[in-house]
A and B are shown apart, each in its own frame.
Chain A
Amino acid sequence: MTPDLIYGLTGMAVFGIGLVGALCAQDRLRRVLALKLCSVGAAFVLVVGAWREPPGAPDPVPHALVITGIVVMVSATAVALALIRRLQTLEAEDDA
């Protein structure tokens, strides 16, 4: 039982949970959240892949990739949320 194994499987599970949410959730906000969970799951895989048995130093490249991925994801999330806000307003205007 090493951390990479434990957290690797955690990552898979989180990815899977996010996938279920992304496909099944009805609420728009929840779907965004589910996608964010998927991205955390994917990040787990890379971080686990970078891990080396101490005292070995971890591989820095996947770390850089994950940081990039986090920024990319927050950008995408911001756009999705802006769309949700706009859509809600438009629907409200239509109903009013």
Chain B
Amino acid sequence: MTLDLDMMMMAIFLPLFGAIAAFILPRAAALVGLVTLALTTGAVIALGLEVRQSGAVVLPLGGWGAPLGIDLRADGLSVAMLALTSAVGFLVSIAALDALKGADQARERQYFWPLWLLLLTGINGVYLSTDIFNLYVMIEVIALAAVGLTVLSATRAAVQAGLEYMYASILGALLFLMGVGFIYLQIGRLDFTGLMGAEPTAALIAAVALMFVGLALKTALFPLHLWLPAAHANATAPASALLSGLVVKAALYIVLRLAQYMPFPSETLLTLVGLMGAGAVIWGGIQALRAERLKLLVAWSTVAQIGLIFVAFARAGEVGLTESWKAAALLILAHGIAKAAMFLAAGRIKDEIGHDVIRDLDRAPVRPTLAQFTFALAAISLIGLPPSLGFIGKWSLMEGALVAGYWHWVAVTMLGTLLSVAYFSRVLSAFLRFDRIRTPVAEHQGWALADAAPLTLALTAIGLGLMAAPILRFIEIGYPFGAAL
């Protein structure tokens, strides 16, 4: 009997088996984790090659085929998201080896790996799914694993934040489930293909609105962002990197998909989405300016950046929606990589200096130069300065808005950029100030392995800007959705 190793199955099942192995062999968890990540990355690369060669691929699980069964489907966008997940995941895993190496962290170490691999299972599952109920189950897998990671440090603040995150997650998932129920009532199907031809009746609009609100809660879109800053700021650094870099992207991806297959029912709703995004850009920026701790600042910047992604989504109105998702996708990729790098760097800085109070960063007698440099590079991409991927994303956003004559979205983007310059320069100037410390400042020169992963991520975020054209071509493979079915 020859085993037919489908790469889509591998992308989901490898992490699942990895999680099982890491759970029952706690002593070898780190090794299992790294091997799993490497294998999963390999599977994603193979899948990417397959998709590039033959377009979108579909796997009808159980041989039934939608709508009775569940289909897995990989197109350019899915593979791009999978690639983001495995690349960032792999590097964060390497960083985690170092971040969790303390003697008192044995149990954190033991639980980090199974939870993270289950999280990976869920995220990969979302990117390959074509069934809205399956997506519900997947976001729950993600939610439970993510909450587990949030409270890894078991401090009071982390558990408090984790509980709020849990409430938000459950509520978001239930709103989504309610939407699924309504879609079933309306069209009697749950697969994307079934959604495509559906008439936009009132019930369907209600369903989509519910699902959108649920997803907005999960991805922390203003004003439903309240849980995010505390959760991301209080988790341990590798967990924060995974949460901010990858987890919120899963819900964002579902929004993109729904928009691809079910054109938004009205211009007004789309404008509303853009306004929520604009609110996030401004409010997140203001809060980041006021944040006292480094990780909290980074977490608020996530709120602002997610808002920007929604602005990108709404940038050219309903007419431009067939193009807008690409700008949003670019920003998602850019933010995923850069934010993971930034959280890891912030974690390193906190470890080295011993605290992360922004006001006192320049009083520290130690300067982790490489981590600070990484932080700065990640900031460049998040601000959207050339040639980073963040810049390309912002360029696409503004270009679309200009072509459509939507000046307000251009203005929001520019305001967001200025705000991000302002709040990141608070941190950067603290790195470069030396007159508030009397003792000679010790600077880390040379290379620490722990800095390698975030630095690689940050450099990738900047370098990928040069690859934007091939990336754009790639994510368009298999679009529109129906083409490969």
Interface of A with B (CB < 8 Å)?
A: 15, 22, 28, 31, 35, 38-39, 41-42, 45-46, 48-49, 61-62, 65, 68-69, 72-73, 75-76, 79-80, 83-84, 86-87, 90-91, 94
Contacts and interface: CB of A to CB of B under 8 A. Distances in A.
Given A72-B140, A76-B170, A91-B156, A42 B178 contact: yes
Nearest to B141: A72
Contacts of A84: 163
A68 to B, nearest CB: 6
A79 B181 contact: no
B407 interface: no
A58 to B, nearest CB: 13
Given A35-B171, A75-B140, 14 more contacts: A15-B178, A22-B167, A42-B181, A45-B178, A72-B136, A72-B173, A75-B144, A76-B140, A76-B144, A76-B169, A83-B162, A83-B166, A84-B163, A86-B159
B177 interface: yes
A96 to B, nearest CB: 13
Interface stretch (B90-98, B147-155, B261-269): B147-155
A39 B178 CA distance: 8
B20 interface: no
A38 B160 contact: no
B390 to A, nearest CB: 34
Nearest to A62: B184
B46 interface: no
A31 B180 CA distance: 23
B182 interface: yes
B133 interface: yes
12 contacts: A39-B177, A41-B178, A42-B177, A42-B178, A45-B182, A45-B185, A49-B184, A72-B173, A83-B159, A86-B151, A90-B155, A90-B159
Contacts of B133: 65, 68
Contact of A22 (B171, B177, B182): B171
B143 interface: yes
- Residue in A42, A45, A61, A86 whose Cβ sees the most chain B Cβ within 10 Å: A42
Nearest to B145: A79
A22 to B, nearest CB: 6
Contacts of B171: 22, 35, 38
B174 interface: yes
B163 A80 contact: yes
B137 interface: yes
Nearest to B139: A72
Interface of B: 68, 133, 136-137, 140, 143-144, 147-148, 151, 154-156, 159-160, 162-163, 166-167, 169-171, 173-174, 177-178, 180-182, 184-185
A30 to B, nearest CB: 11
Contacts of A38: 171, 174, 178
B185 A35 contact: no
Contacts of B155: 90
Contacts of B159: 83, 86-87, 90
Given A39-B177, A72-B137, A87-B159, A79 B184 contact: no
Contacts of A76: 140, 143-144, 166, 169-170, 173
Contacts of B181: 42, 45-46, 49
A41 B181 CA distance: 10
B182 A87 contact: no
A84 B140 CA distance: 19
B144 A79 contact: yes
Report the 5 A-B pairs with minimum CB-CB distance, sorted nearest first. A45-B181, A90-B156, A83-B163, A42-B178, A38-B174
A65 B156 CA distance: 36
Nearest to B133: A65
Contacts of B143: 76
B147 A68 contact: no
B163 A87 contact: yes
B166 A79 contact: yes
B148 A79 contact: yes
A81 to B, nearest CB: 10
A91 B268 CA distance: 46
- Residue in B163, B169, B173 whose Cβ sees the most chain A Cβ within 10 Å: B163
B182 A80 contact: no
B154 A86 contact: yes
A28 B163 contact: yes
A31 B184 contact: no
A5 to B, nearest CB: 12
B174 A35 contact: yes
B406 to A, nearest CB: 33
B154 A80 contact: no
